[in-house]
Structure 1
Amino acid sequence: MKCSNQYGFSLIEVMVVVAIMGILASIALPGYQDYVKSGNAAEAPANLANCRVQAEQFYQDNFTYVGFACVPSDAKFFDYSIENQSATTYTLKATGKSGQNMGNFSFTVNQDNAKTSTFDGTAGGTCWLTSSSGSC
């Protein structure tokens, strides 16, 4: 007795599907990783803008920037510091944490609202970059 109705897939058909899935994953994964980094990078400009407002309020109360500290409570992907702090100047800096895969990111702003940034290795001269394409 011969059975002519066999069900299932051949090994070749399964391997073709696996190959197609691998190609699609190799295309989608880098785009997804860039999307996640962009979302994580949004933390720094938001916190620096907030710290800048706090610095100006501190200056209005004390007539100096000396003694002001920027400590965002929601800092997860960046470390924050104040450089060049004097009575009339400061530079707020956010540096990406390498352990969070944000090591190639940094953002700065000073008392004159002059901004610089490095977004995943791409340098932005006078603005905070919002993508690796170099656009502000």
Structure 2
Amino acid sequence: MRNHRYFLQHGFTLVELMIVIAILGILYRIAMPNYTEHMLKSRRANIQQIMLQGSASLESHYSRNGRYPNEFATQDTEYYEFNYKSDNITFVLEAVPKGAQTADSCGTLMINHSGQQTAQTDNCWNG
């Protein structure tokens, strides 16, 4: 009679681990750009909403007082810095990206007294 010993394998082989790491790397390279773009768009949409609310507030002030205020209280966010310019009959409200948001191709977002919405590239206010 022969004495057969069977060894039970516990764990994974190095090749199996390398295959898993390679698959994770591929998934990361596919998913990360989509996630980053989604975050840029989400932050941009949020700041656009804030700008539209600010514009409505400025228009309300103009309706009551016949002029836009010289100063407008805007609070910078983690990803945008606000600038407000007015000559009492017109205004421009700007949101300048900062930090991680500088990767957004839309760049500085602007809205003026006539409701005109502009950015450095087209379709930034449309979605």
After TM superposition, is the score higher than 0.5?
A: yes
**1:48, 1:92 within 8 Å by CA — same for their partners in 2?**
yes
- Separation in structure 1 between the aligned mates of residue 109 and residue 74 of structure 2, nearest angstrom: 15
Which SS does the other structure have where 2:19 is aligned? helix
Task: Report the 3-state secondary structure (helix = DSSP H, G, I; strand = E; otherwise coil) of the residue aligned with 1:109.
Answer: strand
> Partner residue of 1:54?
57
**Cα distance between partner residues in 2 of 1:64 and 1:34:** 39
Bigger-Rg structure (1/2): 2
- SS in structure 2 at match of 1:26: helix
Aligned twin of 2:80 = 78
C-alpha distance in structure 2 between counterparts of 1:56 and 1:42, whole Å: 21
2-structure distance, mates of 1:47, 1:65: 18
Equivalenced residue count is 121
Aligned pair 1:29/2:32, yes or no?
yes
- Per the normalisation by structure 1, the TM-score is 0.76
Q: Could you tell me how far apart the structure 1 residues matched to 2:32 and 2:4 are?
A: 47
After TM superposition, what 4+ stretches of structure 1 lie above 4 angstroms from structure 2?
Answer: none
Distance in 2, matches of 1:16 and 1:76, equals 39
Q: Which has the higher helix share?
A: 2
Q: Is the 8 A contact 1:70 1:80 kept in 2?
A: no
C-alpha spacing 1:106/1:3, structure 2 compared with 1 (3 Å):
farther
